[in-house]
């Protein structure tokens, strides 16, 4: 502990600084700042958690380990605050564990109201191996929601039957075959819920207004439904196409809704955002880095939040690459100091989310940062137009790199990249062979391509 400071700014010990205040914990005897009653924060926490969890009455090594996990974080003050937030909901859960009213099992947690406090504690227990791992927790929540939804529809078989097939054979089967390590399952399950809900609303309207079902409806009913309501009604498209694959209604479809406008920024505005984030010392390192990666590569925020440190390759004296697709993307030299600083002090590592492999750790143990958090910070605090930046960034990249190579580097589909290249009026004949391994095989004619540049 170095509570003193010299005029040069160097930290020194209490004795050298001639500090007479007692900075030793009365309970553990270690030199720490006193937090309450002459005790340090670790001892205060240990006492409170032991009283709540009662790990020795009867003996439970898992509860004893939970106390150790909570008291040995780098910032134990965060645990002290957590116990007192949300009206003490977390404290009440720990007390129920200590009273042995709540068992350490996923089944017991599933029976509780699914609040933030419940899911946060479940994440802590799972991440620290006190509960079995649930690699697809979002799917478990989705299945519970689906069962409740189907129970509501059961009195109307004409609605229940097609919705059950669509939900289980289209959405649930797709979700269970995808990995939560590479896909934002929160976003995927929310999209599935919306499509199932909208499909149910459509069938209810069809039955009440026309006395028709999913088997007897026609294209005119779909067209009428779409023109009479809000744009969210177009989320029935996958449901109608699923019915077509069932050969129930092979000739029906929902037209794709084309955007009336394409939000765009000028490259000067984009460079202005890059400069702002490079210099914004009042913004957290993780938000700055995430924003810069978004501005340079146009990676969707949802996918950016799922990036792991395994995708980052740091080569001393050479540089940093990050792998969004099949081929690694080079990180500009101007970003390297910020990137290295973030890797050394990834935020949330001072709290309970330790030992995680996410590049941007979240608040909950073992979880990445929420895409919504990144969007809100970049949009509201930095003033970034998310859709405009993404379109402008990709448009600029396709002017330098051919769509096929760019899709391999950024993980986009070739079709999406080709559309942007067409919009940018970049003909294929303008691309020439390039031996640069980062860009695979082709680039437009002109100067040698370089990694995305940041302003000086």
CA dihedral 414→419→425→431, nearest 10 degrees, is: 0
Residue 366: phi, psi to the nearest 5? 75, 5
Domains of the chain: 4-127 (no CATH), 137-245 (no CATH), 267-444 (1.10.443)
Tokens 């540049």 appear where?
A: 453
pLDDT tens readout for residues 246-276: 776 678 888 776 556 677 888 888 899 999 9
Q: Is the pTM of this model over 0.75?
A: no
Structure tokens that stand for 307 in this block: 């990036």
| C-alpha of 426 from chain center | 34
d(CA 50, CA 56): 9
Q: Which of 84-88, 95-99, 436-440, 444-448 has the highest mean pLDDT?
A: 95-99
Residues of the chain with pLDDT > 90, as a percent, come to 38
pLDDT-derived band at 452, boundaries 50, 70, 90? low
In 298-402, which residue ranges form alpha helices assigned H by DSSP?
301-304, 336-344, 371-376, 386-398
Q: Say which DSSP state 6 is in.
A: -
Q: Say which DSSP state 327 is in.
A: S
**Mind giving me the DSSP string for 259-288?**
-S------HHHHHHHHHHHHH-TTS-HHHH
d(CA 259, CA 272): 27
Q: Say which DSSP state 377 is in.
A: I
pLDDT tens readout for residues 358-399: 999 988 888 888 888 899 999 988 888 888 888 888 888 888
Spatial contact of 140 and 146, defined as CB atoms under 8 Å apart: no
Burial bucket for residue 202 (CB in 10 Å: 0-12, 13-18, 19+): buried
The average pLDDT across 332-336 equals 91
Q: How many residues does the chain have?
A: 456
Three-state SS at 65: helix
- Predicted pLDDT at 447: 43
pLDDT-derived band at 175, boundaries 50, 70, 90? confident
Which H helix or E strand runs over 35?
strand 34-36
- Predicted pLDDT at 411: 83
The average pLDDT across 175-180 equals 70
CB atoms within 10 A of CB 171: 22
Lowest average pLDDT, out of 1-5, 44-48, 260-264, 438-442, goes to: 438-442
pLDDT tens readout for residues 112-133: 988 889 989 999 999 888 988 8
Whether the predicted pLDDT of 437 surpasses 90: no
Spatial contact of 244 and 214, defined as CB atoms under 8 Å apart: no
Which H helix or E strand runs over 78?
helix 76-82
d(CA 324, CA 387): 19
Tokens 């030793």 appear where?
A: 24
pLDDT-derived band at 155, boundaries 50, 70, 90? very high
Nearest of 382, 391, 378, 381 to residue 276 by alpha carbon: 382
Query: In this predicted model, which residue has the larger pLDDT, 256 or 244?
Result: 244
Spatial contact of 330 and 318, defined as CB atoms under 8 Å apart: no
- Predicted pLDDT at 152: 94
- Predicted pLDDT at 229: 84
């Amino acid at each position: 502990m170095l509570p003193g400071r010299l005029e040069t700014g160097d930290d020194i010990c209490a004795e050298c600084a001639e500090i007479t205040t007692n900075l030793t914990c009365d309970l553990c005897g270690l030199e720490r700042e006193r937090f309450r009653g002459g005790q340090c924060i670790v001892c205060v926490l240990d006492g409170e958690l032991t009283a709540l969890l009662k790990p020795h009455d009867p003996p439970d090594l898992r509860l004893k380990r939970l106390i150790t996990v909570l008291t040995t974080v780098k910032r134990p003050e965060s645990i002290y605050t957590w116990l007192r937030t949300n009206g003490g909901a977390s404290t009440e859960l720990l007390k129920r564990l200590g009273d042995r009213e709540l068992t350490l099992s996923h089944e017991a947690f599933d029976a509780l109201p699914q609040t933030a406090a419940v899911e946060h504690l479940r994440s802590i227990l799972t991440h620290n191996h006190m509960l079995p791992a649930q690699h697809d927790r979002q799917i478990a929540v989705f299945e519970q929601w689906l069962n409740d939804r189907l129970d509501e529809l059961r009195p109307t078989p004409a609605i229940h039957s097609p919705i059950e097939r669509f939900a289980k054979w289209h959405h649930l089967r797709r979700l269970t075959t995808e990995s939560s390590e590479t896909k934002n399952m929160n976003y995927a399950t929310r999209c599935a819920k919306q499509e199932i809900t909208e499909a149910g609303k459509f069938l209810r309207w069809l039955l009440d207004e026309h006395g028709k079902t999913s088997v007897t409806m026609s294209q005119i009913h779909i067209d009428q439904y779409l023109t009479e309501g809000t744009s969210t009604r177009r989320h029935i498209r996958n449901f109608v196409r699923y019915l077509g694959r069932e050969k129930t209604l092979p000739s029906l479809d929902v037209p794709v809704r084309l955007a009336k406008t394409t939000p765009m920024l000028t490259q000067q505005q984009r460079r202005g955002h890059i400069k702002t984030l490079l210099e914004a010392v009042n913004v957290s390192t993780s938000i700055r880095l995430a924003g810069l990666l978004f501005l340079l590569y146009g990676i969707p925020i949802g996918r950016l939040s799922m990036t792991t440190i395994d995708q980052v390759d740091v080569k001393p004296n050479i540089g940093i690459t990050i792998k969004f697709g099949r081929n690694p993307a080079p990180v500009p030299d101007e970003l390297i100091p910020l990137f290295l600083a973030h890797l050394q002090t990834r935020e949330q590592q001072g709290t309970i989310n330790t030992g995680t492999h996410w590049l941007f750790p979240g608040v909950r143990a073992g979880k990445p940062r929420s895409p919504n958090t990144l969007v809100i910070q970049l949009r509201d605090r930095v003033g970034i137009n998310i859709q405009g930046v993404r379109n402008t960034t990709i448009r600029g990249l396709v002017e330098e790199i051919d769509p096929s190579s760019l899709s391999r580097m950024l993980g986009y589909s070739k079709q999406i990249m080709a559309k942007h290249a067409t919009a940018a009026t970049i003909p294929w004949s303008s691309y020439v062979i390039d031996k640069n391994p980062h860009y695979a095989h082709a680039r437009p004619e002109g100067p040698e391509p370089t990694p995305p540049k940041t302003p000086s």
